[in-house]
Amino acid sequence: MSSTQLEMLFQLQVLDTRLQEKQRVVGRYESELATRRAAIAACTGRIDGLLASRKEAVAARALAERRVEDLQETLKHKRQRAQKARNEKEVRAGQDEVSSALGDIRDAETTLLEAMTKVEELETQITGARADRAELENQDHRHVTEAEMRIDALRSELHAERSLRDGAADQVDASLRKKYDSLIEHRAGVAVVEIDGSGCCAGCHVQIPPQTLLEIRRTGSLRVCPMCQRILYVSAPQQG
């Protein structure tokens, strides 16, 4: 293998690294937008739930109001009947009926008050939830256009750089690309690493044997790190 092939492989790694980073940025923007959308959807769902509860509470309040009205009408008739009592027994019976009716009314009024309070509480919660959604939508409106423009720009850059990357990949020997692709998959997206100034693998920092370093510089032959198995590259190769 020529030093040119190794140089191309290293440049392919540079392009792939740049593509990976831009793809991560796109993913981050898309995740942020999805989070915003999910928050708005959750808020809308909460509002829908509160509206359904308010509908039930309003119906319960109407029933409670009707119950109080019916009991008040019943009390009116019982008082009229009590006034027509002809003896002490009927008087006591009439008083008991009136007293019982008054108790029923008090209980019904308590239920009505609870129903009214429930409706008011739900109204307050609905108002708050709508305000929360409006704020989320306002924030989304302010940021979404900028984020979408940034995503579009990055996607355009990715498209152009993928074309450049594919061109570079086509110039690499098929067997070498196969090894490269395998390393990309199993070595956290990094297949080619430089040997640093101290003669160590830049991937795992193990010391590379001097003979291996010499062979790469002289011939551009493929050598891998004895520790991490990444392909080794030496910038600015020299003649031995």
Q: What are phi and psi of 121, to 5 degrees?
A: -60, -45
pLDDT band at 205 (very low <50, low <70, confident <90, very high): very high
Task: Let me know whether 96 and 204 are in one domain.
Answer: no
- Cβ of 127: how many Cβ atoms within 10 Å? 11
| Structural domains of the chain, count | 2
Q: 14 in a domain, yes or no?
A: no
Closest by CA position to 65, among listed 133, 132, 116: 116
pLDDT band at 239 (very low <50, low <70, confident <90, very high): very low
* Long-range contacts, 146-155 (Cβ 8 Å, 24+): 147/29, 147/32, 147/33, 148/33, 150/29, 151/26, 151/29, 151/30, 154/22, 154/25, 154/26, 154/29, 155/26
The pTM score is 0.59
Task: Let me know whether 48 and 166 are in one domain.
Answer: yes
Tell me: pLDDT of 164 over 90: no
Q: 7 in a domain, yes or no?
A: no
Cβ atoms 68, 157 nearer than 8 A:
no
> What is the residue-averaged pLDDT of the chain?
87
Task: Let me know whether 78 and 163 are in one domain.
Answer: yes
Task: Let me know whether 213 and 227 are in one domain.
Answer: yes
Q: Which of 171, 198, 226 is the last residue of a domain?
A: 171
Task: Let me know whether 136 and 148 are in one domain.
Answer: yes
Q: Which of 126, 153, 171 is the last residue of a domain?
A: 171
Q: 141 in a domain, yes or no?
A: yes
Task: Let me know whether 65 and 182 are in one domain.
Answer: no
Answer with the residue of higher pLDDT: 108 or 188. 108
Q: Which of 137, 155, 171 is the last residue of a domain?
A: 171
Range of the domain at 72: 20-171
CATH code: domain of residue 124: 1.10.287.1490
Question: Which of 112-126, 133-147, 148-162 has the lowest average pLDDT?
Answer: 133-147
Task: Let me know whether 30 and 137 are in one domain.
Answer: yes
Task: Let me know whether 24 and 114 are in one domain.
Answer: yes
pLDDT tens-place string over residues 34-89:
888 899 999 999 999 999 999 999 999 999 999 999 999 999 999 998 888 888 89
Average pLDDT over residues 182-206: 88
